[in-house]
Every structure is written in structure tokens, then in C-alpha cells.
């Protein structure tokens, strides 16, 4: 390793030491990170009355289908109605 690479590695290590020190202080003051409130998210199936981008009808006339393992799907109403 050249002296330039060694200086760069030393600066990098110093930056990590500073980051670790700041993180340790903030954890002592604020506590650990709050990852979740452990309550399930309440999903609403109500749709707004704004127009649909595909058919132009209000979204509240559309059918919204959600499942746990698939993505959410929005179905436009029958064009004859």
C-alpha cells in the first residue's frame, strides 16, 4: 500500500469512529430506533371521487381488490352501465 492509500484508509477509519461515537451518544439520549408501533395498519377500501385515469369515471364507482400476497388491483366498472 502506498502512503496515499494509507492516509485515505486512516481518514475513512476516523470517519467511522466519529460516526460510531455520535451514534452511541444519540442512542443513550434518545434510545434505540423505533422500527414500528407493532399495530397493524388499518387499510381503507374507500376510494376518492376523483376521476379514473383510464376511463374517466369517479374512482368510488370502481372495484378495489386487495389480498395479502398479491398487489392491489383496481377494476373499472362495466362500460355499458
- Residue 81: pLDDT above 60? no
User: Are 24 and 48 contained in the same domain?
Assistant: no
- Residue 43: pLDDT above 70? no
- Residue 55: pLDDT above 60? yes
For position 80, what pLDDT does the model report?
64
Taking Cα atoms as reference points, which of 69, 46, 68, 70 lies closest to residue 59? 46
User: Are 31 and 44 contained in the same domain?
Assistant: no
User: Are 30 and 51 contained in the same domain?
Assistant: no
- What is the rounded distance in angstroms from the CA atom of residue 62 to the CA atom of residue 48? 10
For position 19, what pLDDT does the model report?
92
User: Are 45 and 31 contained in the same domain?
Assistant: no
- Residue 69: pLDDT above 60? yes
Amino acid at each position: 500500500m502506498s502512503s496515499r492509500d494509507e492516509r485515505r484508509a486512516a481518514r475513512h477509519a476516523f470517519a467511522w469512529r466519529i460516526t460510531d461515537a455520535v451514534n452511541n451518544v444519540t442512542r443513550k439520549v434518545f434510545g434505540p430506533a423505533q422500527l414500528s408501533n407493532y399495530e397493524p395498519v388499518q387499510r381503507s377500501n374507500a376510494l376518492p371521487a376523483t376521476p379514473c385515469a383510464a376511463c374517466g369515471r369517479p374512482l368510488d364507482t370502481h372495484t378495489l381488490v386487495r389480498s395479502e400476497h398479491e398487489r392491489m388491483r383496481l377494476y373499472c366498472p362495466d362500460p355499458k352501465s
